[in-house]
């Protein structure tokens, strides 16, 4: 069992950012209105994700760290991208590869309970003091899977990957407050807000920058969002956020379409700053369900491309969507 778990762990959790993504998705699934994320050593030394969601009862704590135990079968929540086949894998995988501790107190309970799993060994839950909600602490990631540990980059690089995951998830749930502290530095402190305010905060742009509201429609698909004029740009693509049907994605078709839309107006080597929300009829998009990736396949790629390019170019020309 322990060996199987360790093999599975490397597949599901390939770096700190993947673990943070799973923990944040769990918190969102639990209805969190406030999320606190804090990392040391780029997440390898320690990551703490605390939420004010429904919590986990002491009996369910033991189940939560067992393989294939999920309370969510058949549930299609907003950002939960891992569909059948990878359900119930995250916590056991993290527990197999690291020192995992989950403290949780469901609403109405008089106290919290904590369970620990270290390198695949589970210790019985014990009562502790704790607030409502759940706090997950992961320490020494991959201490039990040295082969995986070897592939880790520096704490700075791993931390940057985590930051990018946190920002993308934060866009998907603007009604959830986010605080993110990376190696002692507060990176995000976002209140519950509407999508426009959340996008502006994540893009680090405002109406003063000429922040444009966009909207377009084509063949059952809709595109909305916020884009910055070409005068606001970045040296990398880290100012680009995309949600497809409410889920954060990194998709080459969308990225290319954004680049093409700006090609004539932005300086070479500069990257546009955009937050795009695309909705596609579910039967026209295939989400490849490997937990470490977010790959999309659109039934009609050309239509997606022209929707994005057309809507963005119109907005750039006319200054409005």
Q: Which residues bind ligand ADP (CB under 6 A)?
A: 22, 26-27, 30, 51, 53-56, 64, 70-72, 82, 87-91, 134
Of 3-11, 90-98, 148-156, 233-241, the segment contacting Mg ion by CB under 5 A is 90-98
Phi-psi region for residue 43, left (φ > 0), alpha (ψ -120 to 50) or beta? left
Check residue 135 for interaction with Mg ion (CB under 5 A).
no
List Cβ<8 Å contacts ≥24 apart for 180-185: 180/37, 180/38, 181/36, 181/37, 181/38, 181/39, 182/38, 182/39, 182/42, 183/39, 183/40, 183/41, 183/42, 183/155, 183/159, 184/40
Check residue 90 for interaction with Mg ion (CB under 5 A).
yes
* Cβ–Cβ under 8 Å, residues 30 and 72: no
Of 22-30, 53-61, 230-238, 258-266, the segment contacting Mg ion by CB under 5 A is 22-30
Provide, rounded to whole angstroms, the least separation between the CB of residue 48 and ligand ADP.
12
With CB under 5 to 8 Å by kind, the binding choice for 27 among ligand ADP, Mg ion, none is ligand ADP
Provide, rounded to whole angstroms, the least separation between the CB of residue 97 and Mg ion.
15
Nearest to Mg ion of 26, 101 (CB atom): 26
Nearest to ligand ADP of 96, 203 (CB atom): 96
Nearest to Mg ion of 77, 164 (CB atom): 77
Nearest to Mg ion of 26, 134 (CB atom): 26
With CB under 5 to 8 Å by kind, the binding choice for 72 among ligand ADP, Mg ion, none is ligand ADP
Check residue 103 for interaction with Mg ion (CB under 5 A).
no
Provide, rounded to whole angstroms, the least separation between the CB of residue 13 and Mg ion.
11
Provide, rounded to whole angstroms, the least separation between the CB of residue 82 and Mg ion.
7
Distance CA 37, CA 134 (A): 12
Nearest to ligand ADP of 21, 271 (CB atom): 21
With CB under 5 to 8 Å by kind, the binding choice for 87 among Mg ion, ligand ADP, none is ligand ADP
With CB under 5 to 8 Å by kind, the binding choice for 36 among ligand ADP, Mg ion, none is none
Buried/exposed 38-50: b ≥16 CB within 10 Å, e otherwise: bbbbbbbebbbbb
* Cβ–Cβ under 8 Å, residues 62 and 115: yes
Provide, rounded to whole angstroms, the least separation between the CB of residue 290 and ligand ADP.
14
Phi, psi (deg, nearest 5) at residue 302:
-65, -40
Q: Which residue has the tokens 């998830």?
A: 169
**Dihedral in degrees, nearest 10, Cα atoms 87, 91, 95, 96:** 10
Distance CA 175, CA 218 (A): 28
Distance CA 46, CA 183 (A): 10
Query: Binding Mg ion by CB under 5 A: which of 26, 50, 93, 104?
Result: 26
With CB under 5 to 8 Å by kind, the binding choice for 195 among ligand ADP, Mg ion, none is none
Cα-based distances in Å from 35 to 189, 194, 276: 10, 16, 23
Q: Starting from the edge strand earliest in sequence, which strands make up the sheet with 212-218, in order?
A: 212-218, 221-227, 274-279, 240-244, 247-248
Provide, rounded to whole angstroms, the least separation between the CB of residue 141 and ligand ADP.
16
Provide, rounded to whole angstroms, the least separation between the CB of residue 240 and ligand ADP.
27
With CB under 5 to 8 Å by kind, the binding choice for 54 among ligand ADP, Mg ion, none is ligand ADP
Cα-based distances in Å from 21 to 2, 267, 288, 310: 23, 33, 17, 32
Nearest to ligand ADP of 37, 144 (CB atom): 37
For residue 167 the two structure tokens come to 């920002």
Q: Which residue has the tokens 């939960």?
A: 80
Interface residues with Mg ion (CB under 5 A) are 26, 90
């Amino acid at each position: 069992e322990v060996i199987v778990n360790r093999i599975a762990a490397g597949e599901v959790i390939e770096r700190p950012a993947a673990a943070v993504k799973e923990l944040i998705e769990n918190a969102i699934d639990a209805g969190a209105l406030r999320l606190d994320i804090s990392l040391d050593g780029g997440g390898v030394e320690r990551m703490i994700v605390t939420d004010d969601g429904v919590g986990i009862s002491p009996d369910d704590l033991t189940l939560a760290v067992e393989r294939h135990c999920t309370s969510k079968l058949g549930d299609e929540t907003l950002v939960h991208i891992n569909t059948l086949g990878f359900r119930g894998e995250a916590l056991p995988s993290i527990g197999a590869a690291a020192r995992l501790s989950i403290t949780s107190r469901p609403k109405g309970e008089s106290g919290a309970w904590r369970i620990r799993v270290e390198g695949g060994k589970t210790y019985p839950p014990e009562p502790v003091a704790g607030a409502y909600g759940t706090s997950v602490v992961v320490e020494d990631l991959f201490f039990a899977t040295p082969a995986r540990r070897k592939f880790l980059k520096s704490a700075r690089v791993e931390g940057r990957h985590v930051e990018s995951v946190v920002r993308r998830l934060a866009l998907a749930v603007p009604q959830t407050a986010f605080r993110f502290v990376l190696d002692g530095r507060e990176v995000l402190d976002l209140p519950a807000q509407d999508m426009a305010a959340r996008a502006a905060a994540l893009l680090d742009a405002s109406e003063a920058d000429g922040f444009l509201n966009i909207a377009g429609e084509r063949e059952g698909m809709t595109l909305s969002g916020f884009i910055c004029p070409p005068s606001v740009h970045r040296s990398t693509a880290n100012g680009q956020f995309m949600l497809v049907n409410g889920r954060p994605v990194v998709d080459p078709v969308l990225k290319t379409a954004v680049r093409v839309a700006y090609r004539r107006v932005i300086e070479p080597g500069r990257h546009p700053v955009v937050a795009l929300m695309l909705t596609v009829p579910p039967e026209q998009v295939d989400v490849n369900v490997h937990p470490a990736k977010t790959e999309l396949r659109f039934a009609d790629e050309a239509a997606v491309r022209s929707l994005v390019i057309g809507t963005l170019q119109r907005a750039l020309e006319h200054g409005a969507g």
